[in-house]
Amino acid sequence: MLLLKILKGQNHFLNNTGMNNTFSARRFKLLFKKTLLERPMQLLGFTGLSFLLVLILYVLLKTFSGIGTAQNLSFIWGLAGGGCFLSSFVFAYFSSPSAGSSYLTLPASHFEKWLCGILIAAVLYPLLFLLFFRMMDAGFVAAYHNSLDPASPFYKQQFDAVYGFAYDDNIAAKVYFLFLIFSSTMLLGSLYFNKTGFIKSAITCCVICSASYGLNWLIARILFGEINEATLFYHVTIPVGKEEGSIELPARVANIFQYSVCYVMPVLLYALAYIRLKEKEF
């Protein structure tokens, strides 16, 4: 009944305002509600499943490897991995002709449809995950602290050895970057590949990365001859007698590449997803 009410309200509003404008707050609100109500198992269900898997992974790793390992690996899986999977489902309307045609003829602008997908995959999911992970991690850390014996001579050392996962440290920053790259890649891939978009996007991404590293290695071999290692946009390691020498990019150039890859590339991929959505036909 609620979905029917939303659709009726949407049609009434569209009849009065037309479809010429790119964005309408009320129309976008109706579209967002419609998206969540029509696909609760794919969106809300997957989010809950992702959180459950993170909890299970955290418990297993904490038991066998300690809280530090559990925090790092479960955070990587939950944010980068879970966000990657969810992004591949946001625009998964084109696996069948009927669903694809229905979505393309939906009375909403392309920008509103794109923004709805971005809001779900790149804004709401990471915010919900960060909130969930903080509560989960704080609970396990508090349980560990309470299990310690205050009378023990090693109490303070053991207490300080375990603390909550920091959202502003180096590991978290790298995971944020992975999330943005994976999320934007899968979002774009879901619009290019109608079926099994996640698998095809992952394969395409692996091929591009492998080709980039191979080309980088080839250029390094041409320029420096024998090399031991060639890291993309970072450094080249060459043998010097029995030792090794490293040739690095100047700090300023390295920072430009780093910021371009971390911030500019995801924005470009999200923008390409919008362009692809506008050109999408079924």
pTM exceeds cut of 0.85: no
Confirm whether 69 is domain-assigned.
Answer: yes
Retrieve residue 83's tokens.
């966000």
pLDDT of res. 180: 93
Does some domain include residue 282? no
Note whether residue 149 is domain-resident. yes
Q: Say which DSSP state 165 is in.
A: P
In a domain, 85, yes or no: yes
Q: 229 lies in a domain?
A: no
pLDDT confidence of residue 281: 63
- Establish if 215 belongs to a structural domain: no
In the chain, how many domains are there? 1
* Average pLDDT across the chain, whole number: 84
Long-range contacts of 102-109 (CB under 8 A, 24+ apart): 104/280, 104/281, 104/282, 106/31, 107/10, 107/11, 107/14, 107/19, 108/27, 108/28, 108/31, 109/19, 109/21, 109/22, 109/23, 109/27
Flag whether 175 is in a domain.
yes
Q: Is the pLDDT of residue 3 over 60?
A: no
User: What is the model's pLDDT at position 58?
Assistant: 96
Comparing C-alpha atoms, which of 3, 29, 17 is closest to residue 116? 29
Predicted confidence band at 279 (pLDDT cuts at 50, 70, 90)? confident
Mean pLDDT within 97-118? 85
- Band (pLDDT 50/70/90 cuts) for residue 126 is very high
- For 245-271, what is each residue's pLDDT tens digit? 887 777 787 778 878 888 899 999 999
Domain that holds residue 36: 2-194
Report, as an integer, the average pLDDT of 126-147: 95
Q: Return all residues near 223 (Cβ < 8 A) that are at least 6 apart.
A: none
Confidence label for 282 from pLDDT (cuts 50, 70 and 90): low
pLDDT at 15: 46
Confidence of residue 21 (pLDDT cuts 50, 70, 90): low
